[in-house]
Amino acid sequence: MRLDKFVSTASNLSRRDASRAIAGGHVSVFGKTVRDGAFHVDEGDDITLDGKPLLYSRFLYLMMNKPSGYITATEDARPGERVVSDLLPPELARRVFPVGRLDRDTTGLLIFTDDGAAAHRALSPKRHVEKTYRFTCSPPLTDEMIRALEAGVDIGEKNSAGEPILTARARMSGNTITITEGKFHQIKRMFHAVGSEITSLARVSFAGIELDGALAPGEWRYLSPEEITLFTGE
């Protein structure tokens, strides 16, 4: 591929800014400065921008610590509504989409990618991908409520014969709950079903990827190679 395509993909610079960086002598290929954007390179080549190695990946994967007050949708935002993609640089926001949804008042781990197949796998109910949420609720859960949440509860879902479908088994541990489904408002509906109400909800892990504690609400970073493997399942 062309060097300007490699640099723009690996660095998230626009194609024009990547060309400028190359022409300005900021890019080296195998240690040698190359100023020609059309120069031919391959995926695994040793290419640096201002001395920092660039890793070419066909797809982008990143995590955000979603703040409260932002909606996850990309299209159906009403005017004036704050959307999670507003928190990404515009270049990136145009490329990636959020994997699944968190409610406006839910905070925590939200993954973005442009890898549609991996996102589809991560969200597929058949794959039982684990999502862990930290919660506060009122009234506090009794042992009986905890047992019911773990065993599966009726949140109003029905099969084609009109019979209730219970939620899949969940794991409770202190103030966290781990589920393998992703139905609309699922945790809130589960707590409601046992007689408690969620008062705060934060996702702390998804598919084995933990929310990075160094990210303040609204901040994001790229996934590490290990996290990408957890996410893509490959």
Residue with the two structure tokens 């996102």: 119
Question: Is the Cβ–Cβ distance between 185 and 103 less than 8 Å?
Answer: yes
Which residue number, 19 or 72, has a Cβ lying nearer to ligand URA? 72
Does position 66 interact with ligand URA (CB under 6 A)? The reply is no
Active site members: 103
| Residue 111 interacting with ligand URA (CB under 6 A) | no
Instruction: Determine which helix (DSSP H) or strand (DSSP E) holds 28, and give its type and residue range.
Output: strand 27-29
CA–CA–CA angle 84, 204, 123 (5° rounding): 65
- Give me the least distance between CB of 222 and ligand URA, in Å please: 23
Q: Which stretch binds ligand URA (CB under 6 A): 86-94, 99-107, 134-142, 212-220?
A: 99-107
Kind and range of the H or E run holding 5: helix 3-11
CA atoms within 13 A on the CB side of 141: 24
Name the residue nearer to ligand URA (CB basis): 91 or 197. 197
* Least CB distance to ligand URA at residue 187 (A): 4
Contacts with 201 (C-beta within 8 Å, 6 or more apart), sequence order = 103, 105, 106, 107, 133, 134, 135, 187, 188
Kindly state the DSSP code that residue 34 receives in the 8-state scheme: -
Q: Please count the residues of this chain forming the interface with ligand URA, following the rule CB under 6 A.
A: 8
Residues 42, 46, 52, 56, CA torsion sign: positive
| Residue 102 binds ligand URA (CB under 6 A) | yes
Check binding of 132 to ligand URA (CB under 6 A).
Answer: no
Q: Which is nearer to ligand URA, 22 or 141 (CB)?
A: 141
The packing angle between helices 186-194 and 143-151, to 10°, is 130
Token digits of residue 45:
């080549």
Contact characters 171-190, ligand URA, x per CB under 6 A: --------------xxxx--
Instruction: Between 113 and 167, name the residue whose CB sits nearer to ligand URA.
Output: 167
Instruction: Tell me: does residue 130 bind ligand URA (CB under 6 A).
Output: no
Q: Which spans of this chain sit near ligand URA (rule: CB under 6 A)?
A: 102-103, 106, 185-188, 201
